Structure 1
Amino acid sequence: MKFDGLLFFPVTPFTSADEVDVGLLKEHITSRLPYNPGGVFAACGTGEFHALGADELHTVVSSAVEAASGAAPVIAGAGGPLGHARAAARSAEAAGADALLVLPPYLVNAPLEGTIAYVEAIAAASSLPVIVYHRANARFTAPAMERLAANPKVIGFKDGVGDVGTAQEIVSAVRNTGRDDFQFFNGLLTAELTQGAYRGIGMPLYSSAAFAMAPAIATAYYDAYIASDERRRQALLDSFYIPLVRLRDQTPGFGVSLVKAGLRLSGLPVGPVRPPLTDPTEEQLAQLKNILAGGEELVSGK
């Protein structure tokens, strides 16, 4: 499996009765397909994996597979307690997903040997290939990733830590194994802000939560990035991404909350975030509206 293009992390819409809104989820995904995302990562971080039950996970992933309809691969989240993660892997396979993103284990801190075994156990739970997510209490070293890369089912590495030196060591170690099918991508919050640096260490792909709420802006950034149009890329950083990051950093969890709020501002009633996340205040919504307007103005050329 090779990814080509922006990696799309859709939100999970909820109804007023706090149930997954299947129709709205499909609309959300299909409305982004004309922008040619390189992958649809359903029920992952932006999709509030942490707040979904097992039945809901299956609903979200199967709905994403139906909506994507082969236009882009669908990657499902699997993580948390090992039993839940294994069940999520099997459910994703039954739903027709193409791969898994292995999210960190629940609560406990473990030695590296145990974290490697956690990834291997999830990989063994289904026939799907897996992408390792390096973040929180699931942190890997270059030797650990070299070992995991010996398993052909482990096809990728997503960095959510931000230690560029360690990331460079991991890229080099995996490449030295001879794996030419292994893919690396930047998974930091609002990854566009750091992608210039990540391209330099051999991570050309990145996840884009902004794409979920503002696909035209995110695609304009991606086009400038691919074309090495640094003037255009910097203008988008200055007018949209840097102000967005400043707003995001006001409140923990806003990497998800602001995306859902942006979708609501655009007219897509995706509902609130589930606890323990919180939604923006009216003042923060006004700031977000202005940030989105600035980005859209730049993209439209007005």
Structure 2
Amino acid sequence: MIDQTEKDRWAGVFTALVTPFRDGEIDLPAFDALVERQIVAGVAGLVPVGTTGEAATLSDAEAVALIERTVRIAAGRALVVAGAGSNDTGKTVAKVRAAEKAGADAVLVVTPYYNKPTQAGLIAHYDAVAAATGRPVMLYSVPGRCGVEIAPATCAELMARRANVFVIKEAGGSVERVTRLRAACGDDLIVHSGDDGLTLPFLALGAVGVTSVVANVAPEAMVALVAAWRRGDRAEALRLHESLADLIAAMFVESNPGPVKAALALAGEIAPDMRLPLVPVAASTRELLAGLLDPRTVTGRAA
């Protein structure tokens, strides 16, 4: 059984951090500033080297360096959940062990992509991964990217097998999945929304937080939304949800993290650079984002 203290550690906004690049290399000062801004805004967690962090194009050394920097800057002020997934179980185990050694509080492990394993394959994969670490393993179901979702029964089986499996990032785009997951797994399962726009309905159905892309740009608003819901101010939570709706939608008009990097670039915080095969967003997307951001923040300095 997961105690309330552990549940509280996972409540709130966890920012899926972008990885700033400049001239092909990681822009470490920009990354450090981004992490500090998130903490000051009150996020509960930081998620380096995930999908939004372009983990697929990072070397193992780069990934470890970013995890270590996040841990050092966070200094216990926020939970650090390191992206550590791949489509090879052996490689995933190695990534998880490296993340643990780097000081991560937990690991985020996406379902194996391209392979499209069966549910039996997912059980075997996550069981091997969870056995390799003493850190909590955050399951990550995102069928739109990986082609397979974690079935509720699979989640329940993994929780029964491994004490460090008790949290899931659910990014299948279905609010109804929260109810099915909780029905299969019970109250010990901690659910995060993996879709910013579904944060409020997920919370209403029993989720405790969100692993957020838009928080890179608007951490204060996302933190305020979740906090309003948790203190029972439904009207304020709804107001904040509606105020963020257009910006959240714009985050996904092109492949993530293109739009969120463009928004941060418009605010002068990072360059819009990405690693191939991803490229910076089209001019039309940039114009859309500029129209949605606070004009006082749009500088274009990093463009």
TM-score by length of 2: 0.86
Shift of 1:96: 0.5
The Cα RMSD (Å) is 2.2
Residue 166 of structure 2 aligns with an amino acid whose one-letter code is: I
Residue 169 of structure 1 aligns with an amino acid whose one-letter code is: R
C-alpha separation between the residues in 1 aligned to 2:212 and 2:268?
Answer: 20
In structure 2, the partner of 1:13 is 20
Deviates more, 1:34-43 or 1:225-234: 225-234
C-alpha separation between the residues in 2 aligned to 1:30 and 1:215?
Answer: 11
Which of 58, 80, 86 is the matching residue for 1:74? Answer: 80
Residue 57 of structure 2 aligns with an amino acid whose one-letter code is: A
Change (3 A) 1:104 1:174: same
Change (3 A) 1:68 1:214: same
C-alpha separation between the residues in 2 aligned to 1:20 and 1:229?
Answer: 40
Shift of 1:20: 1.9
Which of 149, 167, 179 is the matching residue for 1:156? Answer: 167
In structure 1, the partner of 2:301 is none
Please state if 1:169 is matched with 2:169. Answer: no
C-alpha separation between the residues in 2 aligned to 1:120 and 1:108?
Answer: 17
Q: What percentage of aligned pairs have identical amino acids?
A: 26
TM-score by length of 1: 0.86
Paired residues, what number?
285
Which of 136, 157, 181 is the matching residue for 1:147? Answer: 157
Shift of 1:26: 1.5
Unmatched 5+ stretches in structure 2: 1-5, 298-303
C-alpha separation between the residues in 2 aligned to 1:207 and 1:135?
Answer: 12
C-alpha separation between the residues in 1 aligned to 2:173 and 2:270?
Answer: 33
Which of 94, 105, 108 is the matching residue for 1:101? Answer: 108
C-alpha separation between the residues in 1 aligned to 2:295 and 2:129?
Answer: 43
CA contact (8 A) 2:225 2:237 kept: yes
In structure 1, the partner of 2:210 is 206
SS in 1 for 2:172: coil
Deviations 1:240-279 (A, max 9, x none): 323541x34433x1x3111111111111124412222232
Which of 25, 29, 34 is the matching residue for 2:31? Answer: 25
Shift of 1:97: 0.5
In structure 2, the partner of 1:300 is none
Shift of 1:201: 2.1
Deviates more, 1:90-99 or 1:195-204: 195-204
C-alpha separation between the residues in 2 aligned to 1:143 and 1:50?
Answer: 29
Shift of 1:85: 1.3
CA contact (8 A) 1:13 1:270 kept: yes
CA contact (8 A) 1:187 1:207 kept: yes
Deviates more, 1:77-86 or 1:214-223: 214-223
CA contact (8 A) 1:239 1:291 kept: no
Which of 128, 137, 154 is the matching residue for 2:135? Answer: 128
CA contact (8 A) 2:168 2:191 kept: yes
C-alpha separation between the residues in 2 aligned to 1:218 and 1:112?
Answer: 33
Change (3 A) 1:105 1:235: same
Shift of 1:156: 0.4
Change (3 A) 1:294 1:26: closer
Deviations 1:75-128 (A, max 9, x none): 111111223212211110110001111112131111110011111122122222
C-alpha separation between the residues in 2 aligned to 1:138 and 1:121?
Answer: 18
In structure 1, the partner of 2:244 is 240
Deviates more, 1:53-62 or 1:164-173: 164-173
CA contact (8 A) 1:240 1:294 kept: no
Please state if 1:274 is matched with 2:275. Answer: yes
Shift of 1:160: 0.8
C-alpha separation between the residues in 1 aligned to 2:89 and 2:150?
Answer: 18
